[in-house]
Amino acid sequence: MVADSPFGCLSRRRVQLILSISVFLLLLSYPFRSSIVPSVVPANSPPIARELPARTLLSRPLSHDGTTIPKIIHQTWFPAGSNMSERAQEWVHGMRTQNSDWEYVLWDDETNRMLVEQYFPWFLQTYDSLPKEILRADIVRNFYMYLFGGMYADVDTEALRPVAPLFAGHETALAAHQDLLSSAPTFQKATVQRAFLGRMARTVDILSSAAVPNGWMASPPGHPFWLLPVLNVIEHPEGTGDGSVEGEMTYHELNGGKKPTWNITLDILSWVFWSNLTVLFNKWILDSTEFTILLTTWHLVFATVVTQVLARTTTLLDSRKNIEMNSRMYARTMLPIGLLYSGSLVFGNIVYLYLNISFIQMLKAAGPVVTLLVSWSWGVATPSVEVLINVLVITCSVGLAVSGEIQFSLLGIFYQMASLFCDANRLVMMQILLSDDGQKMDPLVSLYYAAPVCAVMNSIIAWNTELRDFHWSVVPNTGYLTLLSNAVVGFMLNVSIFVLIGKTSGLTTTLVSIPKNILLIVASVVLWHTQVSTIQIVGYSMALLGLVYYSLGWRTIKSGIENIRAWRKDPAGSIYSDRV
């Protein structure tokens, strides 16, 4: 059976052929989508829990039965409209199959906020101020239990058997939600209201951090316990030191907490340094050699050797052991991702032969736009009018910068956009492959898997192109130490990205890239006397403002402005005092 293609009558294999010819590197995106996008559940599958839209549940009245657990399964997935991985889809299907007489509600970031806004408007400001969507999802699941009751389970929870016997063993009744809505309240003086929480099987000490996680929970509606985590967030918005390291760190990082951030500052400066040094170093070498593909191949061979050595001598790549990667999975997932990564690197280096550094950095401002459009085409993001307008503003601003370029090259612009297109597809494929299926692949591990196939692919391309005109005298003329240093600098860039993202977030990296690119433009003007026109400055500035708005959103920007104003009025006081 041939899967449907978003290009109408074209099958995915025809799309593969078109993309291969147009971007020169066999961009194997759509033919492999069937292996990393969840498959459709067969029509003759066993009984399954009936799907109940979150908006429908929000429109229902609340149950007043405080002792009976309604048969509602709550799960969360975000962003709204994005696809689950195949493995997560199987877990969800198993949960619904094991509890087929229940109703199933899948919440997302949009319906979660609707719930808070509808029933807990006093908490909405604190909810919106949480720095990550995962933190909002962590807190809102307590509201599921308090308002509606039922059972909550993370999507990576595998149901081995029905849950009804568990509740029966603790003398807790179950009933359909609709039946409870029509019944009278059952609270009595001696009534016992029970709440259930999961426990980490590998944790011996019940009092240790994360021994009782919030990945599985159940109760009747109205149990007061579920308000305790909410009150704790209100009283301690900066975190309580209870082991929630990621949430606490991100909060301080994005909202200016009191704890020292000197280490993170050094990590950011390290990434800016290695990134800009890589660009300038490559530009300097390519000005004299012009063997862009061979230089990229050398970087990838070096990265392959170093990551293999690091995997066997250090713990930096130990997270690869948690990834189920066999030969079939590698061929059907990492191979196309590696080819796209190779295309991004090759095109990204070729462009330096046609365009100056400052203009290239201006074109890179369109990167988030390309990624967003690719995400829409893959169905991992939901289009909206607000985002579309923002995309158009950034696109027009980049177009304005392009129109003001003095050394204009249409071929150079094509290479840069091809690089952005390859990288956007690579990122989206990685997102689909690794989104909440129990796997975690950081950039260094990604390089560990992708570098070998990229090195082989680039070698094949170089064999048919640059190697014909290549003379080994170029190597000593350029300098052995220079080429080795260049490869080390490129590898250190990957390591610095690994460290930075591990300690902060992709959002931080995106925002820091803005002043980083400005520094590159200034360096290009100083070192190569690149001419930058006024219209380019205006267009690039507009694109940067649009990028900041796209990355942060108006609510976050407004909150930041209000915090700055509060700090200016009372520098000695806490800018969060109004939240306590």
Do 193 and 289 belong together in one domain? no
- The 10s digit of each residue's pLDDT in 518-538 is 666 666 666 656 666 666 667
Say if 27 falls within a structural domain: no
CA dist., res. 130 & res. 139, Å (int): 10
CA dist., res. 429 & res. 26, Å (int): 15
**Pick from 9-23, 45-59, 451-465: least confident:** 9-23
CA dist., res. 77 & res. 135, Å (int): 13
Say if 299 falls within a structural domain: yes
Per-residue pLDDT at 412: 81
Q: Higher pLDDT residue, 569 or 117?
A: 117
Do 158 and 103 belong together in one domain? yes
Q: Higher pLDDT residue, 573 or 48?
A: 48
Per-residue pLDDT at 109: 86
Highest mean pLDDT among 24-28, 99-103, 321-325: 99-103
Say if 259 falls within a structural domain: no
CA distances from 23 to 355, 400, 418, 504, 535 (A): 19, 25, 7, 33, 30
CA dist., res. 543 & res. 267, Å (int): 26
Do 486 and 340 belong together in one domain? yes
Per-residue pLDDT at 354: 77
Instruction: Please state the rounded mean pLDDT for residues 167-185.
Output: 82
- The 10s digit of each residue's pLDDT in 506-521 is 444 555 565 666 666 6
CA dist., res. 330 & res. 309, Å (int): 20
Say if 457 falls within a structural domain: yes
Do 501 and 404 belong together in one domain? yes
Do 281 and 203 belong together in one domain? no
Say if 231 falls within a structural domain: yes
| Number of domains into which the chain is organized | 2
| Residue matched to tokens 């610095």 | 496
CA dist., res. 106 & res. 80, Å (int): 10
Do 285 and 182 belong together in one domain? no
Count helices and strands (H / E) in the chain: 25, 8
Do 411 and 534 belong together in one domain? yes
Contact 336, 28 (CB under 8 A): yes
Say if 244 falls within a structural domain: no
CA dist., res. 456 & res. 26, Å (int): 14
How many other CB atoms are found less than 10 A from the CB of residue 22? 11
Q: Which of 235, 260, 290 is the last residue of a domain?
A: 235
Say if 245 falls within a structural domain: no
Q: Higher pLDDT residue, 422 or 406?
A: 422
- The residues, any chain, with a CB within 8 Å of residue 18's CB and separated by 6 or more, are 10
Do 460 and 566 belong together in one domain? yes
Do 156 and 294 belong together in one domain? no
- The 10s digit of each residue's pLDDT in 293-311 is 788 788 889 989 999 998 8
Give residue 266's pLDDT band: very low, low, confident or very high (50, 70, 90): confident
- The 10s digit of each residue's pLDDT in 330-374 is 777 777 877 787 777 778 777 767 776 666 766 766 676 777 777
- Angle in degrees, CA 332, 333, 337, rounded to 5: 125
DSSP string of 341-382?
HHHHHHHHHHGGGTS-HHHHHHHGGGHHHHHHHHHHHHTSS-
Do 285 and 217 belong together in one domain? no
Do 77 and 160 belong together in one domain? yes
Q: Which of 214, 235, 256 is the last residue of a domain?
A: 235
Q: Higher pLDDT residue, 560 or 416?
A: 416
Give residue 241's pLDDT band: very low, low, confident or very high (50, 70, 90): very low
H helices present in 24-150, as ranges: 33-36, 54-59, 86-98, 109-119, 124-129, 133-147
Give me the domain span that covers residue 433: 268-579
Per-residue pLDDT at 33: 35
- The residues, any chain, with a CB within 8 Å of residue 3's CB and separated by 6 or more, are 11, 12, 33, 34
Do 308 and 171 belong together in one domain? no
Q: Which of 211, 235, 259 is the last residue of a domain?
A: 235
Task: Say how many residues make up the chain.
Answer: 580
DSSP string of 419-476?
HHHHHHHHHHHHHHHHTTSS----HHHHHHHHHHHHHHHHHHHHHHTGGGT--TTHHH
Say if 447 falls within a structural domain: yes
What is the percentage of the chain residues whose pLDDT exceeds 70? Answer: 58
- Token pair, residue 341, equals 């990564």
